[in-house]
Amino acid sequence: MALEAFTRSEPLTLGVELELQLLDTLDFNLAPRAQDLLRVLDRHPGAWDVKPEITRSMIEIGTSIQRAHGPLRDELHDLCRQLSRGARKLNIGIGGGGTHAFQHWSEQQIFPTERFHYISELYGYLAKQFTVFGQHVHVGVPNGDDALWLLHALSRYVPHFIALSASSPFVQGVDTGFHSARLNSVFAFPLSGRAPFVLSWDEFGEYFQKMTSTGVVQSMKDFYWDIRPKPEYGTIELRVCDTPLTVDKAAALACYLQSLCRHLREERPFEPTEDDYLVYTYNRFQACRFGLDGEIVDPRTKQRHKLRDDILRTLARVAEHALDLHSLEANDQLRESLFQGNDATWLRAQRQAGLPMPAVVQAASERWMMK
């Protein structure tokens, strides 16, 4: 099977996808109400999209193509209001967060589509364990070669987005000690992790053809990489973020990625190489485990840095690009969060204040629904 041509896209355009929790308002466990909510939201006013996810206690929303922080944030607020209004009609709640704090995977129900049933048959219990919730950000690129260059250039910044977005400290009622436990579930899939180091679309097409010839891969959807090209959209897709507890945070993360991509494209501060991945898994683990307090290794200099400090330096480096893209407010919000703590810190604070797990989930839901 040949790889499809890469669709030309306007550089640095943005699209955001958020996977969201559907909650029972009595006990704040997950509620298998996706079909009901999708029915209520059918023909909603707005350019955004809403669709099912792998289990019936999840939905995914996607924005229209955006170019700047203000309109992106406004659209996310609009979909938040409409989703919240639809959820209240059904007496359910909606929440962010990378994992639900106390749900058990064995209780989840696969959403009835052909692809989701195929995934369930292929991966067994991992499919239900995939009831985790992430934010995906698409960035427009003009061609496949540029997409692959940018994908690999971004690899050293993956820990930034993990730590800034981390919102999954609890799994099945237990504090895991991780800031992002969600990514441990993703990493269980055989085609997860990093993309192969190729820098031309022709070479990637050869790799794709080899993979499809083995029968392991049928389409690009079968790759669960941290960053992957999306040729049908003309984008690269960053997939490491937990779903934040607020849509404001989701917009800020997307626009930080946009300004970072502009910095990399226009200034070319380095050329990506295979050696950039020597410490990739270690740095990724540090961000998942310790969040903003993690320690990462520079793949070129081999020096160690506090992740929080590396993000601060990068925010300063991309400030001019953020200004040109009208997203300084987004970067300022993330800078403040470096000292306030990420969403995992907020969730732990609710628990440490004495709230039982259902009340922690309720508080997070009220935050997302802007009550």
pLDDT at residue 2 above 80? no
User: Looking at the chain, how many residues does it have?
Assistant: 371
Structural domain contains residue 7: no
pLDDT at residue 1 above 70? no
78-98 mean pLDDT: 97
| Structural domain count of the chain | 1
Please give the radius of gyration of the chain, using alpha carbons only, rounded to the nearest integer: 20
Task: Spell out the residues 6+ positions from residue 40 whose beta carbon is closer than 8 angstroms to its own.
Answer: 86, 89, 90
Structural domain contains residue 3: no
pLDDT value of position 215: 83
Pairing of strands 170-171, 92-95: unpaired
- The CA distance from 97 to 19, in Å, is 9
- Record the tokens describing residue 29, joined without a space: 């466990």
CATH number at residue 260: 3.30.590.20
pLDDT at residue 154 above 80? yes
pLDDT tens digit string along 340-355?
Answer: 999 999 999 999 999 9
- The CA distance from 247 to 325, in Å, is 19
Task: Spell out the residues 6+ positions from residue 118 whose beta carbon is closer than 8 angstroms to its own.
Answer: none
Structural domain contains residue 259: yes
pLDDT tens digit string along 295-330?
Answer: 999 999 999 999 999 999 999 999 999 999 999 999
Q: Residue 228 in contact with residue 220, Cβ under 8 Å? A: yes
- The CA distance from 101 to 365, in Å, is 12
Assign 126 a pLDDT band (cuts: 50, 70, 90).
confident
Question: What is the four-CA torsion angle of 216, 221, 227, 228, rounded to 10 degrees?
Answer: 90
148-158 mean pLDDT: 98
Q: Residue 332 in contact with residue 323, Cβ under 8 Å? A: no
Structural domain contains residue 39: yes
Q: What rounded mean pLDDT belongs to the chain?
A: 96
pLDDT value of position 248: 98
pLDDT value of position 57: 97
Least confident of 18-22, 47-51, 64-68, 286-290: 47-51
pTM of the model: 0.97
Structural domain contains residue 5: no
**Could you list the residue range(s) of the whole structural domain that residue 315 is in?**
14-368
pLDDT tens digit string along 218-255?
Answer: 888 889 999 999 999 999 999 999 999 999 999 999 99
Structural domain contains residue 270: yes
- The CA distance from 58 to 97, in Å, is 12
Structural domain contains residue 233: yes
- Identify any residues that bridge with 23 across adjacent strands, giving them in sequence order: 30, 93
281-308 mean pLDDT: 96
The secondary element (H helix, E strand) that includes residue 96 is none
Share of the chain above pLDDT 70, in %: 100
Q: What is the DSSP letter of 142?
A: S
pLDDT value of position 132: 97
Structural domain contains residue 4: no
pLDDT value of position 188: 85
37-58 mean pLDDT: 93
- The CA distance from 236 to 229, in Å, is 4
Sign for the CA dihedral angle at 175, 181, 182, 185 comes to negative
pLDDT value of position 14: 98
